Structure 1
Amino acid sequence: MHEYGIAESILAAVEDRADGRRIRRARVQVGALLRVAEPSINDAWAMVAEGTVAEGSRLDLVTLPVRLTCRECGNAATSVDPYAVCPACGSTDVDTEGGDDLVLESIQLAEATHVPGDSRGDSGDPVGSP
C-alpha cells in the first residue's frame, strides 16, 4: 500500500504549514499516475495523523489528469485513468506528461473553542479589575 508513504508526505507538509495548530481538513492535488485509491489513502491518513495536529481531520483529494499524446495517430488528450489508452484510436502506445503531482493545496484550521475576552469590545481584563 503505497498510500501510506504518500500520507506521511502529506502529513509532513500539513504539520509544517499548520505550525502547531490543529487542523480540520487538508485538500491535496494528486496526479492520476500516482494511482492513489481514495479508501486506502483515507485509511493511511487516519493512521499517520493519529497523535498529531491532524488527528481526526479529513483529507480531500483532487485528482489531476495526465496529458496523453498518441504515437499512432497523434491525438492529444487528458485522462484521470492511469492506464489510459488513446481515446481516438484505442492505441496503448502513448506518451504521458504530468499526472505525477502531489501538492498540498490548502488546510483548514480547527476553530478555537474559547477565545479570551468579550467579543463586544471587552479588552479581556479579569472580572473585578478597575
Structure 2
Amino acid sequence: MHEFGIAEAILAAVEKRADGRRVRRARVHAGALLRVTEPVINQAFSAVADGSVAEGARVDLVIVPVRMTCRSCGSTSTSVDPFAVCAGCGGTDIDTEGGDDLVLESIQMAEAAHVPGNSRGDRGDPVRPS
C-alpha cells in the first residue's frame, strides 16, 4: 500500500516541524494523482506514528486538483479525480500538470506554548541594547 510511504513522509515533516512537541493534528495538501483518501491516510498515519510525537494525531487532507490538457481538442480543465477524462470531448489522451505534490501546510500542537514576540514569524523578543 503506497499510503504507508506517504504517511511516513508526512510523519517525517511533522516531527521536524514539531521539534519534540506533541502534535494533535496535521493539515496536508496532497495532489489528486497520489490517489489518497483521508480515512486511509489516517489509518496508515496512525500505524507509522505509533510511539512518536504524533501518536494519536489526525491528518486533515486537502486534495489538490490536477490540471489536464486534452491532446485531441485542446481543452484544459482541473479535476480531483485522477481518472478523469476530457470535459470537452470525453477523450482520454490528456496531458497532466501537477497533482503529485505532498505539502505539510500546518500542524496543531497538543499544548499551546507561549512564544514571546510576534507569532507571525518572529523568533522571540528582539535583543534590546543596554
Tell me the TM-score range normalised by the shorter chain. Answer: 0.7 to 0.9
Deviation by residue 1:36-94 (Cα, 9 ceiling, x = unmatched):
13222111011011111001111000000000000111101000000110011100000
Question: What displacement does 1:33 show?
Answer: 0.3
Query: Over the residues paired in the alignment, what is the CA RMSD in angstroms?
Result: 1.5
For 1:42 and 1:109, the matched residues in 2 are separated by 17
TM-score of the aligned structures, taking structure 2 as reference length: 0.84
Mark the structure with the bigger radius of gyration.
1
TM-score, normalised to structure 1's length? 0.84
Per the alignment, residue 121 of structure 2 pairs with: none
Matched, 1:75 2:75: yes
1:105 matched residue in structure 2: 105
Q: Which runs of 5+ in 2 are unaligned?
A: 115-130
One-letter amino acid of the structure 2 residue matched with residue 61 of structure 1: L
SS in 2 for 1:61: strand
Please give the residue correspondences for 1:84-123 in structure 2 after superposition, counting only pairs within 5 Å.
84-111=84-111
State the match for 1:40 in structure 2: 40
Would the aligned equivalents of 2:46 and 2:56 in 1 still touch at CA under 8 Å? yes
Structure 2 Cα separation of the partners of residues 42 and 17 of structure 1? 19
- 1:50 is matched with which residue? 50
Equivalent AA in structure 2 for residue 72 of structure 1: S
Q: What is the distance in 1 between the residues matched to 2:21 and 2:106?
A: 14
Unaligned runs of 5+ in 1: 116-130
